[in-house]
Amino acid sequence: MSKGLGNIMKQAQMMQQKMARMQQELEERQVEASAGGGMVTAVVNGKQRLVSLKIEKSVVDPEDVEMLQDLVVAAVNEAVKKSQDMMQEEMSKITGGFNIPGLM
């Protein structure tokens, strides 16, 4: 194996280790988003998993279930987007801004 190829392999291994640590750290980090002026709040971790969902009692109206559903969807989608942005930011720190296919 040439010295250049050995260096590339070593760098790839180091990047893989950094990515594994980052993924573990992201699973522990959380982002929050709300809809309806805070009536519905969603918390998502760095792995895009919904961790918690809070719904204010005053927004629960049996006559208007559609509004509640829309607020839940909006809050969850915004929290997932924030989580994805957080992951993208952390990934760019590791890859130096390079877009490496298959990593995201």
Residue 102 lies in a domain: no
- Predicted TM-score (pTM) of this structure: 0.74
Range of the domain at 23: 3-95
Residue 18 lies in a domain: yes
Q: Which of 83, 93, 81 is nearest to 21 (CA)?
A: 93
* C-alpha to C-alpha distance for 70 and 85, rounded to whole angstroms: 22
Residue 101 lies in a domain: no
Q: Residue 38 maps to which CATH number?
A: 3.30.1310.10
pLDDT at site 74? 98
Classified as helix, coil or strand, 8 is helix
> What DSSP element (H or E) covers 51?
strand 50-55
In total, how many domains does the chain have? 1
Query: Amino acid identity of 23?
Result: Q
Kindly tell me the sign of the dihedral angle through the C-alpha atoms of 29, 27, 94, 96: negative
Residue 59 lies in a domain: yes
In this predicted model, what pLDDT tens digit does every residue of 47-103 receive, in sequence order? 899 999 999 999 999 999 999 999 999 999 999 999 999 988 888 887 776 655 555
* C-alpha to C-alpha distance for 30 and 51, rounded to whole angstroms: 8
